[in-house]
Amino acid sequence: MPLFFLPFGGQLSENNRWVQLSYLIPWRRVEEEYSKHFSKDPRGGRAVSVRMALGALIIQEREGFSDRHVVQHITENPYLQYFLGLEGYREETPFDPSLLTCFRKRLGPDVINQVNEWIVQAARQEEENGDDDEHKNEPPTSTEAGSKGDSKTESQEPQPHQRKLILDATCAPSDIAYPTDLSLLNTAREKLEGIIDTLHAPHKGNMKKPRDRRCQARRDYLRTAKNRKPGRREIRKVVGRQLRYVARDLKFIEQLVPHTPLTVLSRRQYRELLVVRELHRQQREMYQSRSHRVDERIVSIAQPDVRPIVRGKTKANVEFGPKVAISVVWILLDGEDELG
């Protein structure tokens, strides 16, 4: 039975998962390996043992607790205290929750991976020792005794490879504002107005500037954007107006191009012009078909390559960013695991 003092009586169960996990981890080897990185200066506070620091990180990783909840559960659960190497149950907190940040900095992913390798090596060695003991206790048969000398000369047949494939898909969220049709069209209109100013600047005083009605378009947008709960009809009406404003600005740009080439635009402005043209086409198609879906939909003018991905999460049903497909292949070769 686990040696652990309980002030309220009783004993810990040896079948508990935290007790079983504490037997698998080579705590002494971890302590000897990573105690070299600590300072030997006697000044300062007393250092927390490596077992307590690593054990707290393992508990947090397995259970998904926050820093405060980890310390709270350790204080309430005697099995977790035994897992951390305490000799008896304590009612006070073993360490401050802020120390978990230091634990994560000092014991990073490399340490966790090294400990996992040691656990696997210890389990294999234990299995090999158990198999050797079983073979020693069994008496050899006549067939095994006769073929013992021939087994050294015969070559072993290669075992077939066994593979295990793990597939998963996730999304790498991009740092963009949540896109709406109205906000995208308003941003596109503002970009086009800047391009019109750049194209008309060389002819200032000689050519009349196109009347783009930017102040009126801005008021129309703010009237709905400041409304907390606009109705569907109101949103559709304002989206239609913004579409007409964008189409009007694109027409003015086409009229200015014969007088001023597009080479006066910066690379960013030229790129934005191409993106806004495609955005206007998509928004007009969705507006006419009364839908909110279109192929290769643009959700950000600054990052037109970002796409909406339906994830079905409670927090956010749709995420915006590139989709990542991950595949891990485990190859079993001659009784040894290799990660491909």
Residue with more model confidence, 152 or 83: 83
Mean pLDDT of the 315-333 span:
73
**Cβ contacts of 93 within 8 Å, gap of 6 or more:** 71, 74, 75
Q: Where are the domains of the chain?
A: 17-112, 158-174+307-340, 181-305
Burial classification of residue 176, based on how many CB atoms lie within 10 Å of its CB (0-12 exposed, 13-18 middle, 19 or more buried): middle
Burial letters 123-159, b for 16+ CB under 10 A, else e: eeeeeeeeeeeeeeeeeeeeeeeeeeeeeeeeeeeee
The residue among 132, 184, 217 whose CA lies nearest residue 300 is 184
Residue 323 pLDDT > 70: yes
The predicted structure's pLDDT at residue 148: 47
List of long-range contacts for 118-122, beta carbons under 8 Å, 24+ apart: 118/25, 118/26, 118/29, 118/30, 119/24, 119/25, 119/26, 120/337, 122/24, 122/26
pLDDT > 70 in the chain, percent: 81
Q: How many residues does the chain have?
A: 340
The residue among 265, 254, 268 whose CA lies nearest residue 202 is 265
The predicted structure's pLDDT at residue 330: 67
Backbone angles phi, psi at 85, to 5 degrees: 95, 10
The predicted structure's pLDDT at residue 248: 93
